[in-house]
Amino acid sequence: MIIGATIKSVVGGLWQRVSAAEPKLLRLVVALAAVMVACVGVEAQAQTLKRGNQRTIQGGVMLADSAAIARADSIAKLDADSLALVQKLIDKQAKQRLDSLARAARRVERAREAGRLDANGNIIPREPWFSDSMSLSKVCITAAVLPGYGQIYNKQYWKLPILYTTVGASAGLAIYQGTKYRPLKREYDAMLLEGMSRTNEMNLLQRRMIRTNTSRQLLWSAAAMSYIYFLGDAAVKYSTNEVSDVKKATTLSLICPGAGQVYNQSYWKVPIVIGGMASMVYVFDWNTRGFKRFKTAYSLRADFDEHPENYPGGVSKDEFKGRYSATFLKNLRDSYRRNRDLSILLTAAVYAFQAVDAHVDAHLKDFDVSDDLTVKLEPMFDYQYSYFSGGNPVFGFNLNLTF
């Protein structure tokens, strides 16, 4: 008992001193402590076995020492737990070592295929921007700043002309349409401020403005979709290091809402995600246009109330021709602004929710769900011990449920 207490105090001191140290050293101390406790258990068990011949007489029946039996059972359990802990630590270290060796073998194989092994079989390091150790997130971030970097990193050079042609041509044509749209918008706004009634000239100008603006928006959308597509392509084709499907699915969902669901093959979720994002964007655009509209109307109406002498006709130049007061227009402006801000928060919430869904769904893809649902009923035979009658046979049934 003195030896056990001494070892226990030593192990406790070591644990306090090593708890802030390196994980490997901590695991070693835990393993040594478990072995020492096991040794103490073996010594105590030996002492118990020496006293195993002691018997007590009670009710005319010779019984074993119950305290000795209890100590033996607790020591056996302690030994089993200690050995299980040591075996678990050893298995974990062996698995980590095997995983490390497997990753190193894969790096060597990829370097051999790329022709980056020297005469001694060592890997020739790549340039810093094309290092084999660059993670998927760094590749995607760099590709977001420098379009085409992901294709260069993955050695898919033939995709670069397609990327630059689609993105560059779409963006260039969108800029050109923008130079045509802005003068038309200024002219149309000037006609509205002058209070002109609807004429064929004004209607024609409005149609040209809408047509030019629609072309500009479609071209910018094409440029954005091409940019996002090749950014996602860089993530999908990334194979320099071992990357789990969970990380790829999460990265794709962050790049483009719904892409993570497509990668997980949960196609039924894609319309929900796209519909939710499209609805939030539409609500944001609707409230933004309403906010701008009533902001302009309120400014004109407030200016008319403050300086009526500047309006010879005695009528405000806002689009409602003075039918609504400045207070009413101000309340409408503030209402649209609040709804716009709320739509921004809801859009961010939908975006975060679909990313979390892709992450969780990718984890559940590897979840092992067995089809074995069985109920097994077996007969059971055992002994029940008591101090007075010794061992009594017990009969019954065991019910095993597998799910």
DSSP track, 365-383 = HT-------EEEEEEEEEE
pLDDT < 50 positions in the chain: 1-8, 10-11, 14-15, 18-22, 40, 42, 44-46, 48-65
pLDDT, position 311: 76
Residues 263 and 339 in one domain: yes
Phi/psi at 387 (5° precision)? -70, -30
* pLDDT score, position 103: 74
CB atoms within 10 A of CB 154: 19
328 within a domain of the structure (yes/no): yes
Question: Does 353 fall in a domain?
Answer: yes
Same domain, yes or no: 104 and 140: no
* pTM assigned to the model: 0.55
Q: What is the DSSP string of 262-283?
A: HHTT-GGGHHHHHHHHHHHHHH
Judgement on whether residues 194 and 264 belong to the same structural domain of the protein: no
For the chain, the 3-state helix, strand and coil shares in percent, each to the nearest 5, are: 70, 10, 20
Residues 97, 134 within the same domain: no
**pLDDT value of residue 379:** 77
Residue 299 lies in a domain: yes
Q: Give the per-residue pLDDT at 307.
A: 82
Contact status, residue 291 vs residue 341, Cβ threshold 8 Å: no
Q: Is 181 domain-assigned?
A: yes
264 and 363, same domain (yes or no): yes
Output the pLDDT for position 318: 77
Q: Residue 390: which H helix or E strand, with range?
A: strand 390-402
Q: Phi and psi of 376, rounded to 5°?
A: -120, 125
What is the total count of domains within the chain?
A: 3
The reported pLDDT for the residue numbered 99 is: 76
Give residue 115's pLDDT. Answer: 62
**Neighbouring-strand partners of residue 383:** 393
Classify residue 13: in a domain, yes or no: yes
71 and 144 inside one domain: no
Based on the domain organization, do 165 and 258 belong to the same domain? no
Six token digits for residue 288: 């933004």
Look at residues 242, 257, 275 and tell me which one is the last residue of a structural domain: 242
Domain presence at residue 275: yes
Greatest C-alpha distance within the chain: 126
Which of 310, 24, 20, 28 shows the shortest CA–CA distance to 11?
Answer: 28
Regarding whether 109 and 134 lie in a shared domain, the answer is: no
Is residue 12 a part of any domain in this protein? yes
Sign of the alpha-carbon dihedral angle for 37, 38, 39, 42? positive
Last residue of a domain, one of 242, 273, 308: 242
- Same-domain status, 173 and 185: yes
User: Among residues 220, 242, 264, which one ends one of the domains?
Assistant: 242
Count of CA atoms in the C-beta half-sphere (13 A) of 264: 29
Both tokens assigned to 252? 């794709």
Domain limits for position 299: 244-367
End-to-end CA distance of the chain: 46
Closest CA to 139 of 283, 248, 287: 248
| Whether residues 170 and 215 fall in one domain | yes
Calculate the CA dihedral of residues 70, 76, 82, 84 and round it to 10 degrees. Answer: -130
**Same domain, residue pair 207 and 255:** no
- Asked, for residue 75, whether it belongs to a domain, the answer is yes
Instruction: Give me the amino acid identity at 367.
Output: F
Whether residue 229 is found in the same domain as residue 285: no
